[in-house]
Chain A
């Protein structure tokens, strides 16, 4: 069974802390994505990666960075967490380009106090 695993389902952090959200996929997919989900706004793309060490900004990259050192792992980094980054974060992977469906992880709900 295909799987995208996000390391933490729930996190509570304080303002200014550095936060790592990790995502691992076992499908040998080239493309990996980080989305942010907020009520009424749907899913907004933060960053995506189409190969190891390659990354591209999505629609809302400010305040975030990413790392992809290995094909199966894609990490989202909040250098200095702020309260407006409280949200649900969804990782996904796909074959490319564009035709393949996205496979999602269960999500990581981050609360920044």
Chain B
């Protein structure tokens, strides 16, 4: 089975500071990688995805992520966060196995 590790359960950061949310996965086969965001009392929505091609992927709301095959990582970054980015972020992996595996989530708390 695949596994996804999000190393930080909570990340506090001040507004306008940069942030990185870390994600590592275990897989020996080709995978597709995703970051989802969940605002309070809502379902998850897609931030960005890596399917193939360029390893730097840009998503909505100024987020980007870099796929690193040798380190099996897919870290999410934003150069300057806003209060409205406060949410929980989930990394996920899928592939030919037709399932999605999720990490345990990282709560981003942006402080004024």
Contact = CB atoms under 8 A, between A and B. Distances in A.
Interface in B46-101: 46, 49, 51, 90, 92, 94-101
Given A40-B104, A99-B51, A48 B99 contact: yes
Contacts of B41: 106-107
Contacts of B6: 42
Contacts, number: 66
B44 A90 contact: yes
B99 A41 contact: no
Interface size class of A (residues with CB under 8 A): 20 to 34
B61 to A, nearest CB: 16
Nearest to A101: B46
Given A48-B99, A106-B43, A98 B94 contact: yes
Given A42-B90, A99-B32, A99-B51, A50 B98 contact: yes
Given A98-B100, A101-B49, 8 more contacts: A41-B104, A94-B100, A96-B98, A97-B96, A98-B99, A99-B51, A102-B34, A104-B43
Interface of B: 1, 4, 6, 9, 32, 34, 36, 41-46, 49, 51, 90, 92, 94-105
